[in-house]
Amino acid sequence: MLESALTIRALTARAVAAPLARPLRTASGDIPVSPLLLVDVASEEGPVGRAYVFGYTTLTLRALKAFLEDVAEVVRGREASPAAVYDDLAARFRLMGRQGLVGMALSGLDMALWDLQGRAQGRSVAELLGGQAKPVPAYDSFGIVDPAADGAALERSVEQGFRAIKIKIGVGDLAWDVARVAGVREIIGPDMRLMVDYNQSLTAPEALRRIRALARFDLEWVEEPVPAEDLAGHARIREASPVPIQTGENWWFGHDMAHALAAGACDLCMPDLMKMGGVTGWLRAMGQAEAAAVPVSSHLFIEASAHVLPVTPLAHYLEYLDLAGAVLADPPPVVDGAVTARGPGLGMDWDEAAVARYLV
């Protein structure tokens, strides 16, 4: 689908700690701000591609920035072909592996290259992939909530048109989980889809005990009940669970996805663009989900996910968790509970005044 021959002139990265509209509290730790690395790829021909990666903690940002600055020396002067750059860098890091900070940085570069190609052609990435921009059903993604204190925020989600909401649980005992889920279900009503996320906090036996107690609240899925790498535990829970099991946000590239699907670890999956290899890695991996008949949702990265889900077999939900809105000139809106890809490219422009305020 790529038609424009572009040459990479420069690769730059800026670290920001952007405010979150709703700071996240999870069973595996709190995320008070959004630590982002903003990636810009300038071409000799003029257009600039943009993307960002999410560092989870500000402690990763210095290392991510330094690594991408070194990668800039490798890619400068090369043709801005996402797949060719992806394959070259994958080969360079094969002996050490691409998990962790290396994979995050390379995925961010890949997304920026796709954005660059779209901008150069005046087309959205969704169109470059052979699809079209269309509304993708989204769910509003909350952290740990207190139904009493957060009731107004939950009601706003319903008023915005969301038809699905996810909350995080698992910081207390079973009674604590039941009280939170019951309170949220009462606020959002019986017709809204409700998902829960344990953020890898339980053992398999305890997970099954809790899921059985929560099933009466008509849950759409239970996410990551045990550590992400525990594929046998996920499969054991899935086999006995009355609620579908969701996982995938911590899969690294297509091989992790293959291992998880072969193990029968989930009913549903939600890969992360930053961990799957950006747009190129996502495209190469999604046929596995189709072959296994496993529906695919996105994890984070609202803007780019809205482009890849329309060309993803068995696309399910887009996770709406706004990481970058504070540094974007025009964040994507939610319309009738859905997000639509915008162009050209990935449809993102930095709010440079905000970027300057939040630089770290």
Which among 226, 126, 93 has a CA at the least distance from the CA of 170? 226
In terms of DSSP bridges, do strands 245-247 and 318-320 run parallel, antiparallel, or are they unpaired? Answer: unpaired
Q: Per the structure block, which two tokens stand in for 206?
A: 């305890």
Q: Is 234 annotated in the active site?
A: no
Instruction: Give the number of other CB atoms < 10 A from CB of residue 175.
Output: 9
Phi and psi at residue 153, to the nearest 5°: -65, -40
Q: Is 65 annotated in the active site?
A: no
Residue type at 2 in one-letter notation: L
Contact between residue 59 and residue 43 where contact means Cβ atoms under 8 Å apart? no
In terms of DSSP bridges, do strands 219-223 and 245-247 run parallel, antiparallel, or are they unpaired? Answer: parallel
Cα–Cα distance, 360 to 351 (Å, whole number): 16
Choice among 65, 234, 275, 299 that is catalytic: 299
Give 173: exposed, middle or buried? Use CB within 10 Å, 0-12, 13-18, 19+: exposed
C-alpha to C-alpha distances, 197 to 32, 220, 248, nearest whole angstrom: 18, 11, 12
The per-residue DSSP string of 228-265 comes to TT-HHHHHHHHHH-SS-EEE-TT--HHHHHHHHHHTT-
Which among 33, 102, 114, 43 has a CA at the least distance from the CA of 77? 43
Choice among 168, 275, 307, 316 that is catalytic: 168
Instruction: Give the number of other CB atoms < 10 A from CB of residue 51.
Output: 30
Contact between residue 113 and residue 80 where contact means Cβ atoms under 8 Å apart? yes
Taking only Cα atoms into account, the Rg of the chain, rounded to an integer number of angstroms, comes to 20
Contact between residue 70 and residue 1 where contact means Cβ atoms under 8 Å apart? no
255 Rama class: left (phi>0) / alpha (psi -120 to 50) / beta: alpha
Q: Would you name the residues annotated as active-site residues?
A: 168, 299
